[in-house]
Structure formats: C-alpha cells, structure tokens
Structure 1
Amino acid sequence: MAESPAVVQQHLEEVEAAAEEVITDQQEIVTLDRRRNTNREALRQLQTNNLISKNPNSRTWICAGNMFLKMPKNYVTENIEKEQKQLDTEINNLRNGLRSKVNHLNDLECKEKTIGTNLKSLSPEEWNAVRQVLGK
C-alpha cells in the first residue's frame, strides 16, 4: 500500500532534522575540542615561561577579544584551567547526547543501532581491579 506524499514528506523532514542535530553536535564538539587544545597549548607555554622566570608575581599578556591585557600569571592559569574543566564537561555532555541522537536517526532510517555507541571507558578503580585480577 502506497503512502501519501504528505506522510513521506513528513518522515523525510524528521530524518533531515535528526541528521541536522547530529551534524550540529559533531561540529560543536570539533569547535570545543579546538578551543580546548588552544587552552592546553597556552597552559603549557605559561608553565614553561614560569620555569624560566622564577618570579612568582610575574605578569603575562593575554588577548581578550580585540584587546591585550597584562595580568598575573597565576590568575590567567587558574582561569584557563577552569575553562578547560568546563570545556571537558561540555564535550562529554555533547558526546553522550550524540549517541542517543545517532540511534534516533538510525531508527528513523530503519537501520540497526550503531554497535559500540554505548561503550564507556573504565574508571581508574575498575582498571585497578583488572590489574589485580591479572596479577600486575
């Protein structure tokens, strides 16, 4: 039995919307990951500069928007570390939500669920238990 064009169009719109959400989340993850890597590079540079200049009260230049500011290194380092934690949380939340969105898209396209999407890494406690069992 043939479905009406309106039903087919609505189904295609749902599939397109679900696919758009998946692509948007993937792009957001890439963007946040680039920002996280840039912050990591900045932290590393601050640490190496800190080793060179042994002055604990030293200041460094940062770029905020279209301005350059000279601020204490400790303050800058703390703020970058806070932002790193926030970025890690956002990326993990997006990745966890992406799994369900991909499964929803597969359901709409009548495909099987993606194998391995619900895998999670072992925690440090679980790794210690595995090492004890293996005798390492």
Structure 2
Amino acid sequence: MKEQREMLQYLQKLEEKGGEILTDRQEIVALDKRRNDDRVGMRALQKQKSDKCWITVGPLLLKMNSDEAEELLLQDQKDCDIEVTKLRSNLKVKVNELRDLEYMPPVSGLMLKPMSNAEMSAINQLIGRQ
C-alpha cells in the first residue's frame, strides 16, 4: 500500500512538472503571436497618413493619437520580449528538473549562452577578421 502511494506521488510530480512545461510553452507561443501582432500594428501605423487611429486595448476600441499608439505598441512589444526571455530561461530549468525526476541526464547544450561582443571581437582578431 505504501509503495503504491509513493508511486502515485512520484507520477503526480512528473505530471505536474510536465504540465508546467507545456503551459509555459503555450504562453511563449501566445506572447510571440502578440509580439507579432504589435509589429504588424506598428507597421500599419507607419504606413498611414492620418494623425489619429483606432486601436483595440483588450475589449475596448479607442481612438488615439498615432504617435501615442505607436509608443504603446512598442512598449507592449518590449514587455513581451522580457516575459518571453524569462519564460524561456525558466523553461530550461524546468526541463532539467523533469529529466532529474525521470532519472535521465540533463539535455546537453540546453544551458548554452551566446558569446558576448567582447568574446566575439577577440575571436575575430584571432582568426584575422576585423
């Protein structure tokens, strides 16, 4: 009886961690879509010639100055970028935690970080590029 309870708790932990990973991935996709919609909206604002525009904010439809609307879209795009970056970094940790629960080795290369500009310039100097 005790072994069955432990097995159920183990499986519950696995399912919870897997659910968190799937939820984070869905949220990343939704934020990417929102960021792309912001990009489309900013491009449409840049193409139009009028000073006022209509913009939807949640369920509301507002008429506002085009410059203010563009700033609003730009700020939303920056917020989405920050949130996606946070989710992606947390996702790496959660995937490794899930693999630990499954008694599997961590995914190789998952925690790689890009090289900084200083590191890239040093490598370019070593190989002879300017």
Alpha-carbon deviations, 1:11-39, whole Å to 9, x = none?
Answer: 11111111111111111111111101110
Q: Quote the offset at 1:64 in angstroms.
A: 2.6
Letter of the 1:70 counterpart: K
Q: How many pairs align? A: 128
Which of 110, 116, 126 is the matching residue for 1:123?
Answer: 116
> Is 1:107 aligned to 2:100, yes or no?
yes
> Is 1:89 aligned to 2:88, yes or no?
no
Q: Quote the offset at 1:68 in angstroms.
A: 2.6
Q: Quote the offset at 1:131 in angstroms.
A: 2.7
Aligned CA distance change for structure 1 residues 77 and 124 (closer, same or farther; 3 Å): farther
Aligned CA distance change for structure 1 residues 96 and 76 (closer, same or farther; 3 Å): same
Which has the higher mean CA deviation after the structures are superposed, 114-123 or 14-23? 114-123
Instruction: State the partner residue of 2:73.
Output: 80
Instruction: State the partner residue of 1:16.
Output: 15
Gaps of 5+ in 2: none
Q: What is the CA–CA distance in structure 1 between the aligned matches of 2:76 and 2:127, rounded to whole Å?
A: 38
- TM-align CA RMSD: 1.7
Letter of the 1:6 counterpart: R
Q: Quote the offset at 1:125 in angstroms.
A: 3.8
Which has the higher mean CA deviation after the structures are superposed, 124-133 or 79-88? 124-133
Q: Quote the offset at 1:135 in angstroms.
A: 2.5
Aligned CA distance change for structure 1 residues 132 and 73 (closer, same or farther; 3 Å): farther
Letter of the 1:103 counterpart: N
TM-score (norm 2): 0.88
Q: What is the CA–CA distance in structure 1 between the aligned matches of 2:7 and 2:63, rounded to whole Å?
A: 60
Instruction: State the partner residue of 1:38.
Output: 37
Gaps of 5+ in 1: none
